[in-house]
Amino acid sequence: MVDPCNGNSSGRTLPNTIGILFADEHLVVVDKPAGIPSVPARSLNDPSSVITQLTSEWGFLEAVHRLDRDTSGLLILARNLQSRTFLGKAFESRAVHKRYLSVVHGSLPDTEGVVHLPLADDPYRPPRKRIDPILGRRAASRWRQIAQKTTVAGLLSLLELEPITGRSHQLRAHLAWLGTPIVGDRLYDNTTRTSTELKGVATRLALHAAWISFPHPANHCRIELSCQVAAIDPWTTFSAAVRDWN
User: Is 154 among the domain residues?
Assistant: yes
List 3, 24, 31, 68, catalytic entry? 68
Task: Kindly report, residue by residue over 153-183, the tens digit of the pLDDT.
Answer: 899 999 999 999 999 999 999 999 999 999 9
User: What residues have CB less than 8 Å from 217, skipping those under 6 apart?
Assistant: 26, 27, 78, 82, 83, 86, 87
User: Is 104 among the domain residues?
Assistant: yes
User: Is 86 among the domain residues?
Assistant: yes
Catalytic (active site) residue 121: no
Domain of residue 100 covers 19-245
pLDDT at 67 over 90: yes
User: Is 5 among the domain residues?
Assistant: no
User: Is 199 among the domain residues?
Assistant: yes
**Mean pLDDT throughout 225-236?**
94
| CATH number for the domain that contains residue 25 | 3.30.2350.10
User: Is 209 among the domain residues?
Assistant: yes
User: Is 226 among the domain residues?
Assistant: yes
Q: What pLDDT shows up at residue 9?
A: 47
Q: How many domains, the chain?
A: 1
pLDDT at 44 over 80: no
User: Is 3 among the domain residues?
Assistant: no
